[in-house]
Structure 1
Amino acid sequence: MRLSRPRASYRLRLAFCLAAVGIVAGCGGTPALPSIPVGTTGEPEAQLVAHLYTAALRFYGNPAHVQVADDPLGALDSGEVRVAPGLTGELLARFAPDSAARSDVQVYRTLLSALPEGVAAGDYTTSAEDKPAIAVTERTAGEWDGGDVAALARSCPDIAVGAVRSEPRPARVGTCTLPDAREFPDDDAMFGALRSGRIDAAWTSTAAPDVPSEVVVLSDKTSLIRAENVVPLYRRNELNESQVLALNEIAGVLDTGSLADMRRQLAEGTDPGLVAGQWLEEHPLGVGH
């Protein structure tokens, strides 16, 4: 009996210490790493991307969590979050609004030079973009003799263009200044107008999940529309090398088709964190990279 009491007391003290302090190796070990906050707005599409980067950090053993903020970039500047993913073109418009860069490489390189002191950018997703795109009927694509947005620029400005209300779209395509878009409450109404001929073209995006199969989304081989690739911004000198590499892993696996498919699941009501987790299970990081 005298021997059993110290052992039981030791086990009790050890269990209490582990639970109270959260130490994995014991009371005398190294405290657990603080969780890395990844900033995002409340929009499901933005939360999806934040969850992808959060999962990447966790995959390589870094505690991380998604943190919603009204202004993730402001939260990044203040230190409230340490990572803030975004789209390259939108970020460039914020940090260098007068920049004329349009191709993905140009936009990324210009963004790097325009970032505020103390903020760095990881690798951008060369195969995943979500930039504005023009959709037309197959008949219109045939009349324009091509499936590229350059055909629209050649027909400018006598084109009736539609857009969903509040959705972003550029005012210019190359050297063409487009007339004001006719606004619609949703995609169904806009694509209905396109099919009926009430508009000649409709603004969508390259990763839109709801483009009807019978319309043609024009390519942009000469980068007339500014690139919008996914990229993580982070606080310089506050992430170690392995954490930055974890963020960069997303650039090697994410593509536009996957982004569109995940956005389709969001539109069906699936939680962004669940969508991101399921996708990463099917596309594990570190494989072939």
Structure 2
Amino acid sequence: MDKTPTRTVALMIAWIETHLDEGLTLEVIAARAGYSPFHFSRLFLAETRRSVMAHVRARRLLKGARRLLSEPGLTLLDLAFDCGFESQEAFTRAFRRLFGTTPARFRAGFAVDPIEGQYPMSTPTAVETAVRRLPDLVPLPSFTLAGPARRFDEGNKAEIPQLWSRLVGALPFEGQAESWASYGTVSAVDRAEGSFRYLAGVEIRPGAEPPAGFETLTLPAAAYVVFRITLDGGPVHLQIKAAMREIWGELIPDSGLDLAGSPDFERYDGRIPLSEPGATLDFYVPVRA
């Protein structure tokens, strides 16, 4: 087996995916990779920022979530055992931590895509993103978003997709604007400590009350430079990460534009799942026109 760390982990993630129904342990997986359990667990954690067995549990839960939608006669108890849990209660707790909702609520109307591609559990790979700046600035009036929000830094920002699962699990809700668009916003940036507040939300009508536990964020009227990210069907979060490096590291500095300093945001129109090749995501950065 190729001993390049990224390649080794990528190959093992692919192998795990085809053996999720088997009795996987750290020892079994490490032996397959040709490493000691200690060495491989360190390698896997460095490459993915999660433990080997946390990855296995998450992939089993995701596979179970798809079965919830495709097998209406499947009981939660049977699914819990199939996913390697000793009880339905343990399965439900783990499911809720990952998806932000219960299995029953998920089955009643929760969309896995495009969330699946955003979970920080996809195969590490080299990605090539297609990013282009749209030619014209886009003026937008003030509008208000509602959704789950948390403060993140380098230590926990891999958990951002969990906000999206909470959001999608609550849609649609009373007071939501008539639009399929969803937004990921960054605000309250503290550059000294490297932290920021992230909200995954949808637009709400003026005066509407958001669901319990959701926050609101009103974006001021502004002109935006827009960067269109075209995805290739691979891991979404890796492509967005690469696109952001290009946008902030090259395209914005080369643009000569004066940034306004108000919140920027990702906008997804909901028409094509982000996991499909050709899907697009627009990134809006406010500028002083």
Give the structure with the larger strand fraction.
Answer: 2
Taking structure 1 as the reference length, the TM-score comes to 0.22
Higher relative contact order (CA 8 A, sep 6+): 1
TM-score (ref. length: structure 2): 0.22
Structure 1 or 2, whichever has the larger Rg, is 1
